[in-house]
């Protein structure tokens, strides 16, 4: 049987340890094409490049890969370029990551990692975003490799519901051995943000965004609960943003 064609991308850049690990795993499953940003693009969300030119460069970071490209654009640009320009056929799967840092709860809407997966889903490609709750590039990704492979194989074998992609997050090592995986809902949490106002040597004011992540959700069926308790969280994400439950309420307005 022909091997599946797997598109690999991310938002931490093509040289990040996370994507190099993801490529290594995907090579054991199928034929791999890599299209990833040439520089970090974290928290870019679903941004696309409109007012600048895009550049694609063929690279050879992995001697086993024939098709590996760095892109000057965003993670979503990478998927668009792969599908529209670089590939002769639609991939059987798109995997994005492994992100260095959490994309659980509200973080999913800011995530370049997940936006790349969502863009693939919009194109009708089954897609998974993988993230690890450790921002360090030196973090040990070895314990999660088997889970990445297992989840990937399940998606390839069983497919995903139409209009759905998966947001997969792995707990920090401090939680001990991964206990298993849980299919979860997105926790109701948010960032309590503030801007650190400073002045440069020339007297011009500038700002750094900072903040604290606050989980207001005490449910034990959420991604945050799973991760705090040593489980892999798997959240099915839809890109139809319609609030169907609100349609009848608004239809009752005097419009």
Q: Where are the domains of the chain?
A: 5-186+218-251
Burial of 242 (0-12, 13-18, 19+ CB in 10 A): exposed
- How many CB atoms are located within 10 Å of the residue 194 CB? 12
Half-sphere exposure of 14 (CA within 13 A, CB side): 23
pLDDT in tens, 70-108: 999 999 999 999 999 999 999 999 999 999 999 999 999
pLDDT at position 59 over 60:
yes
Question: What fold, for 5-186+218-251?
Answer: Stationary-phase Survival Protein Sure Homolog; Chain: A, (3.40.1210)
pLDDT at position 153 over 80:
yes
Q: In whole angstroms, how far apart are CA 229 and each of 6, 137, 225?
A: 31, 23, 6
Phi, psi of 108 (to 5 degrees): -60, -30
């Amino acid at each position: 049987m022909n091997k599946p064609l797997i598109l690999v991308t991310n938002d931490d850049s093509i040289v990040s340890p996370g994507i190099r690990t993801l490529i290594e795993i995907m090579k054991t499953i199928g034929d791999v094409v890599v299209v990833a940003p040439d520089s970090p693009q974290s928290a870019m969300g679903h941004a696309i490049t409109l007012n600048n030119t895009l550049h694609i460069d063929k690279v050879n970071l992995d001697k086993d890969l024939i098709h590996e490209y760095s892109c000057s654009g965003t993670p979503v640009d990478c998927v668009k370029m792969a599908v529209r320009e670089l590939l002769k056929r639609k991939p059987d799967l798109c995997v994005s990551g492994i992100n260095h840092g959490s994309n659980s709860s509200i973080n999913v809407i800011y995530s370049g990692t997940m936006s790349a997966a969502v863009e693939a889903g919009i194109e009708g490609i089954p897609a998974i975003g993988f993230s690890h709750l450790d921002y360090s590039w030196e973090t040990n990704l070895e314990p999660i490799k088997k889970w990445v492979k297992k989840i990937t194989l399940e998606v390839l074998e069983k497919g995903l519901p139409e209009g759905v992609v998966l947001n997969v997050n792995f707990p920090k090592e401090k939680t001990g051995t991964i206990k298993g995986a849980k299919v979860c809902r997105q926790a109701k949490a948010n960032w309590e943000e503030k801007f650190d106002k400073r002045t440069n040597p020339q007297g011009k004011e500038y700002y750094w965004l900072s903040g604290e992540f606050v989980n207001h959700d005490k449910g034990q069926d959420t991604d945050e609960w799973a991760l705090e308790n040593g489980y892999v969280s798997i959240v099915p994400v839809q890109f139809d943003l319609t609030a169907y439950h609100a349609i009848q309420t608004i239809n009752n307005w005097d419009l």
